[in-house]
Amino acid sequence: MREGRRPFRTQVEPKLVGTDAHRRGVERLLASYRAIPADATVRLAKKTSNLFRARAGNDAPGLDVSGLTGVISVDTRARTADVQGMCSYEDLVDATLAFGLAPTVVPQLKTITLGGAVTGLGIESTSFRNGLPHEAVLEIDVLTGSGEILTATPEGEHADLFWGFPNSYGTLGYSTRLRIQLEPVRRHVALRHLRFDSLEDLQAEMDRIVTAREYRGEQVDYLDGVVFTATESYLTLGRQTDESGPVSDYTGSQIYYRSIQHESVNHPKTDLLTTRDYLWRWDTDWFWCSRAFGAQNPKVRRLWPKPLLRSSFYWKLIALDHKYDVADRIEARKGNPPRERVVQDVEVPIERTADFLHWFLTEIPIEPLWLCPLRLREPAPAGASSQRPWPLYPLEPKRTYVNVGFWSSVPSPPETPEGAANRLIEDKVNDFDGHKSLYSDSYYSREDFERLYYGGDRYTELRQKYDPKSRLLDLFSKAVQRR
């Protein structure tokens, strides 16, 4: 951020719940924990989820987190916020933008919660300079499987829980409060969409920008990309600015990912968005997934209520599809086989990105693909291991990775083994020295899963220490597709 310029502050009064409401929410949570039978698995009493993997039914009572959905306070001097674990990023962003501040990384969908992004993995176009959401956490209150709420910090008594919490997906406990770092932002984000006709050229330019954090003399604050084909791909460069001018609106009839496309590899296409609209540019169409619901058909879109052009509504449609097999029934009427859901985010080292993309585009009939470079933050927080500080998702410090996101389905004829495409991708990601996020279907053997995600003995040690009676599901049971 350039020095000497003060960040803007909106005129909207921020919604802060305060410490008293937070205390009541914690008391309600603890009361619900005590009401769960001693032989029952402790789980959240939530009807919705941002996870794509199947969840086993459970009629036992769950944890009441209804009082833990807001922002407690914002410290503008320290640029920090105390946030409840089930606060959505939409509410968090609205509260912090009122002070001209934003979380260091804002995942793409409004309904993702801060606690979910920290215990899982969130990523966005600031990740090439800010890393992942958990790297902005200063301290965290965790309800463990044993029913205690413990405060974990990088160097405190429960530092092992602090470092082991990311990528544990609620199997080490649930966050009730997180203190996170914020960063100042400007009113607008100026965009440049660079077109490439070679994936190798895209990879080289992305690597250069990640290192230099500039492009042709202009600062780059945000960086991501989209691959349509092997000969049509884009990097989008964002720069924070207070410059005025006409701004685009992709919350209605216009579709953001289509706005990226243009013909010239020599002349970038430019755009300007408000900061809030930039942060949620992918949410209106859930990247490009709204096309599966017909919402990108101009005739349908004109009739689609604007408040329902958002990811939270598409989740409801997906839930109906899962319950009634709507999509497969439609395919059957057309004489087509069922389809395998392939909804994944994977990370591969940047130097292997073009090779992985060529393989994927040849073997898996899905497009477009989202690209998002990331590096662990430097310097790492005090207390971090110099090797791989976050043991359950061991990215290497000082190494650039590229997240490749793909969210669709592929034909699955009757003779095809269950999860064939997903299994093939898992194997190939390992071949490319990459990692796969665990929010969706996984098919690893227990041996392979523990090797990849247990951090040696670290996860087992944390489970024994913080959930000695195994009240919570273990990570393998929770993350791997159960058959």
pLDDT tens-digit map of 97-122: 999 999 999 999 999 999 999 999 89
Q: How confident is the model at residue 481, as a pLDDT? A: 63
Q: How confident is the model at residue 460, as a pLDDT? A: 97
Judging by beta carbons within 10 Å of its beta carbon (0-12, 13-18, 19+), is residue 207 exposed, middle or buried?
middle
- Rounded Cα gap, residues 446 and 438, in angstroms: 14
Please say whether the beta carbons of 83 and 178 come within 8 A: yes
Q: Is residue 54 part of a domain?
A: yes
Residue 386 has pLDDT above 90, yes or no: no
Residue 4 has pLDDT above 50, yes or no: no
Count of structural domains within the chain: 1
Q: Is residue 294 part of a domain?
A: no
- Rounded Cα gap, residues 374 and 133, in angstroms: 11
Buried b / exposed e along 314-350 (16+ C-beta atoms within 10 A): bbeebeebeeeeebbeebeeeeeebbbbbbbbbbbbb
Q: Is residue 286 part of a domain?
A: no
Over residues 364-382, the mean pLDDT reads: 91
Q: How confident is the model at residue 483, as a pLDDT? A: 47
Residue 2 has pLDDT above 60, yes or no: no
pLDDT tens-digit map of 191-236: 999 999 999 999 999 999 999 999 999 999 999 999 999 999 999 9
Which domain does 80 fall in, by range? 18-184
pLDDT tens-digit map of 262-317: 999 999 999 999 999 999 999 999 999 999 899 999 999 999 999 999 999 988 88
Q: Is residue 316 part of a domain?
A: no
Residue 3 has pLDDT above 80, yes or no: no
Residue 326 has pLDDT above 90, yes or no: no
Over residues 145-163, the mean pLDDT reads: 96
CB atoms within 10 A of CB 38: 6
Please say whether the beta carbons of 402 and 350 come within 8 A: yes
- Rounded Cα gap, residues 53 and 56, in angstroms: 10
Buried b / exposed e along 246-266 (16+ C-beta atoms within 10 A): eebebbeeebbbebbeeeeee
Bond into 379 cis (ω within 30): yes
Parallel/antiparallel/unpaired status of strands 339-349 and 232-241: unpaired
Which pair of structure tokens corresponds to residue 442? 């996984």
Please say whether the beta carbons of 345 and 405 come within 8 A: yes
Residue 134 has pLDDT above 90, yes or no: yes
Q: Is residue 32 part of a domain?
A: yes
Over residues 51-80, the mean pLDDT reads: 84
Q: Is residue 36 part of a domain?
A: yes
Find the CATH number of the domain harbouring 134.
3.30.465.10
Q: Is residue 102 part of a domain?
A: yes
Residue 1 has pLDDT above 90, yes or no: no
